[in-house]
Chain A
């Protein structure tokens, strides 16, 4: 079993819609969780961090964490064409373990 698994993509959503990204992880002891956005040929850009159960909102992004279910998600509201990228879930246990990423395409 992979340490971090993300829902397979690609994910195509119309402009203005909500994009929903999911991630599960295997290590129950993990304490911090990050979502990165990566444009093609670029490095990962941190967009959200979450440390405790529940929701965390930042602008159009909402991260949700459920440690009991070992599940973390990212919602992108009012999706824009500029949101088209690969989104990486990363789980921190003194080092980051990354999922394979979910590619999101926002259709204008």
Chain B
């Protein structure tokens, strides 16, 4: 069974540009989560999808971040316009239900210069 995949693995963009990150969850997992780790800090929750619906987006930093999960399969996280403080590693995770184990993808390292 394929694990959670993310694309790209690394992105370097300039301040003010737009970047879109993609996550493909484990097949059959209705729950999809985005997390972020910025330098020197703990991994922090961004948002949670159940199928195509946003269950909780309380962790989204501001309205420059937009997440979508059309059709309840893969998800995208767009940052527009990117700021320096957006640099970090963005992880996606998926689970069968909210109480069960969450499996993480390899992450996307975003560097904003």
Contact = CB atoms under 8 A, between A and B. Distances in A.
Contacts, number: 51
B102 A46 contact: yes
A32 interface: yes
Interface size class of B (residues with CB under 8 A): 20 to 34
Interface stretch (A17-25, A60-68, A69-77, A89-97): A89-97
Interface of A: 4, 31-32, 34, 36, 42-46, 49, 51, 88, 90, 92, 94-101
Nearest to B105: A43
Interchain residue pairs A-B with the least CB separation, the first 9: A95-B45, A98-B43, A43-B104, A98-B42, A43-B107, A44-B104, A49-B101, A43-B106, A32-B99
Contacts of A36: 104
A96 B100 contact: no
Interface of B: 33, 35, 42-45, 48, 55-56, 59, 91, 93, 98-107
A98 B98 CA distance: 16
Nearest to B107: A43
A32 B31 CA distance: 16
Contact of B101 (A4, A34, A94, A98): A34
A42 B55 contact: no
A95 B48 contact: yes
A99 B42 contact: yes
B56 A45 contact: no
B99 A31 contact: yes
A44 B91 contact: yes
Contact of B33 (A43, A46, A95): A95
A97 B45 contact: yes
B46 to A, nearest CB: 9
A98 B59 CA distance: 13
